[in-house]
Structure 1
């Protein structure tokens, strides 16, 4: 007889966070759109806020093709980047202060880029953001040998989570939160968000080490340049 999995305490309410940006370099690229929301235990969004920034640099065509925001649109309708960075940082800080875990897919990307943006504009960055829940790290840990890609679109489909507008910050954030809730119901995760946060630090490091070994083996990476496994903010 299989015993039912006891729901962890953090399942009641979670924050969700997602950025769409000018590229994938956390040190140089900029925020274009951001979404922060709160989901209840059923995955219903009960609070939300969106931002559109003028990043201050041209948005490459490749990035625009992903999230649909052009340089012209961002310049015409976006708010000054320093205001958006300050408000997004403050909103996350408030949710952490309330004890809510923040769910973000590939969290080390979003939190690292936000940290560099804060430094760029002289805004106090989040200090050791916690607790963070990263469904990408968790899914790789609890279902390590499942074949196939681990993009948000693929993982959401695997856990029967609807994602109608992939790469739109609000749609991605809500889907990520629902994937986290699905993971909590399917697998025996740590009971508290802080315990899960601590576990993910180790999982992320192990996953980076494993991927580094694979890339070195196939000649895609130099052994002297390992992947950064720091989480949720990269070194």
Structure 2
């Protein structure tokens, strides 16, 4: 069976911000999809324990008051999210998401915050294979331009448009919606990778130097390992671009999880 036809655990979060070291989960979704099995939705609505900034609330539509009123306590929620992901991984499902390194890293930091076992500790020697649509798409279509000044070339909405998937602005930036769309994008990319170029849709045939064929015939372990290299290359290229205007710019290329660094105690009270 090719890598895009097996069972997936589509994963996404909506959060209080974009800093994986400090921000918190507000909603999360893990959807079991594909593999000839029924869909299995798992959704969480979380009280993050801190104020939700207005900028974040404008994106996902959840206010601090609503999260405090309707959300479950964060410690129990993040523990359950990790348990569900672990169960899928240990039964052979692949974790799939868009820029999923962000979601996995944020979950890791939440688990550490509450003194809970990390995903690595729960998995033991069992591998968790990950498919990241942002990494795959960037590798396959490296030279895509921004569709507009406000829409990036690898945003999820852009990928939905490129791969001819419907997009609902009212539901976008909801964890469950974004998780499912990412899974559908990954399926389209996998289908293209195993399709003759002559059968590609016209918009894909027009791609400059496409590399969908690099995904053809890989095992999940091979695809996972390749994404580690591709993510590092992509980050290095972005960092070089940023350093044209900011010599100190740094783009972390670790994937699918940014390494944990113990907080420094230097200068802390004795």
Contact 2:7–2:92 (Cα < 8 Å) also in 1: no
Q: How does 1:1-235 map to 2 (within 5 A)?
A: 8-40=2-34, 46-127=39-120, 130-148=128-146, 149-164=153-168, 165-187=171-193, 188=213, 189=215, 190-217=217-244, 219=245, 221-223=246-248, 225-235=249-259
Deviation at 1:107, TM superposition (A): 1.2
**Superposition TM-score, scaled by structure 2 size:** 0.80
Bigger Rg, structure 1 or 2: 2
Deviation at 1:21, TM superposition (A): 0.2
Deviations 1:40-91 (A, max 9, x none): 158x961111000000000001101100111000000000000000000110
In structure 1, C-alpha distance between the alignment counterparts of 2:237 and 2:163, rounded to whole Å: 25
Stretches of structure 1 lacking an aligned partner (at least 5 in a row): 1-6
1:4 equivalent in structure 2: none
In structure 1, C-alpha distance between the alignment counterparts of 2:29 and 2:257, rounded to whole Å: 19
Contact 1:58–1:71 (Cα < 8 Å) also in 2: yes
Stretches of structure 2 lacking an aligned partner (at least 5 in a row): 147-152, 194-212, 260-270
**Superposition TM-score, scaled by structure 1 size:** 0.91
| Residues matched between the structures, number | 225
Deviation at 1:9, TM superposition (A): 3.8
Contact 1:17–1:36 (Cα < 8 Å) also in 2: yes
The structure showing larger relative contact order (alpha-carbon pairs under 8 Å, at least 6 residues apart) is 1
